[in-house]
Chains A and B, each alone.
Chain A
Amino acid sequence: MKQGGATVSDSDPSGVSEAENTIIATDITVQYDSVVALDHFSINIPKGIVGLLGPNGAGKSTFIKTVLGLVLPQYGKIMIDGLDPRTDVMSIRDRVGYMPEHDCLIDSMSGVEMVAFFGRLSGMRKQDTIPRSHEVLDFVGLGEERYRPISTYSTGMKQRAKLAQAIVHDPEILFLDEPTNGMDPLGREEMLNLIGKIGASNKSILVSSHILQDMEQICQHVIIINKGKAIIQGTMAALLDQGEGRKRLKIRGTPDSILKFMEHLRHKHEVISTSEEYGEMTIVIINREGSGGILKLARDDGVQVRAYLPDRITLEDAFIRSVKEVI
Chain B
Amino acid sequence: MGLDLIGYKPWSGKRTEHNRRFLVIADSIVKQKLSSKWLIGLLILGTFLVHIIPIILNSMRPHDVLESSVMVDYMQSGLFYIFDIILVSLVCSDLIADDIRSNSIVLYLSRALRPERYLIGKWLGAMSIICLFTLVPPLVLSIAITATQSGPDYVASAAVIGQTFLAGLWTALFLVPIGLMMSSLTNKKTYAGVGTFMFFFVLSIVASILSQMSNDWTLLSPENVLNDTYQVLFGLTLTGGVNLVLLGIMVFVLTVPPIALVYYRIMRKGVGK
Which chain A residues have a beta carbon within 8 Å of chain B's beta carbons? Answer: 32, 61, 65, 68, 70-71, 89-91, 93-94, 96, 98, 100, 102-108, 117-118, 120-125, 128, 132, 135, 138-143, 145, 156-157, 160, 165, 167-170, 190, 193-194, 197-198, 200-201
Contact = CB atoms under 8 A, between A and B. Distances in A.
A143 B112 CA distance: 29
A58 to B, nearest CB: 16
B254 interface: no
A143 B271 contact: no
Interface in B1-43: 1-4, 6-16, 18, 21, 24-25, 28, 32
Closest 4 CB pairs of A and B: A123-B15, A170-B11, A93-B112, A98-B110
A100 B3 contact: no
21 contacts: A65-B271, A70-B272, A102-B103, A103-B102, A104-B107, A106-B104, A117-B24, A120-B24, A121-B21, A121-B24, A122-B15, A122-B111, A124-B13, A125-B13, A132-B13, A142-B1, A143-B1, A165-B107, A169-B11, A170-B10, A200-B8
A122 B8 contact: no
Interface in B156-173: none
B112 A90 contact: yes
Contact of B272 (A65, A117, A190, A198): A65
B9 A145 contact: no
B125 to A, nearest CB: 13
Interface of B: 1-4, 6-16, 18, 21, 24-25, 28, 32, 98-99, 102-104, 106-114, 270-273
B3, B24, B102, B107 interface centre (most CB from chain A within 10 Å): B107
B103 A124 contact: no
Nearest to B9: A135
Contacts of A71: 271-273
Given A157-B1, A170-B10, A200-B8, A100 B24 contact: no
Nearest to A95: B112
Contact of B8 (A107, A118, A120, A139): A139
Contacts of B102: 103-107
B18 A141 contact: no
Nearest to A175: B110
Nearest to B32: A108
B132 to A, nearest CB: 21
A125 B109 CA distance: 19
Contacts of B273: 32, 71
Contacts of A169: 11
B110 A93 contact: yes
A198 B24 CA distance: 27
A68 to B, nearest CB: 5
B149 to A, nearest CB: 44
A197 B271 contact: no
A68 B110 contact: yes
Contacts of A125: 13-14, 16
Given A100-B103, A107-B102, A141-B3, A123 B8 contact: no
A100 B111 CA distance: 13
A96 B110 CA distance: 8
B3 A94 contact: no
A200 B9 CA distance: 11
A201 B8 contact: yes
A107 B107 CA distance: 13
A98 B108 CA distance: 10
A191 B37 CA distance: 39
B6 A139 contact: yes
Contacts of B270: 70
B169 to A, nearest CB: 27
A138 B16 CA distance: 25
Given A93-B112, A96-B110, A142-B1, A132 B11 contact: yes
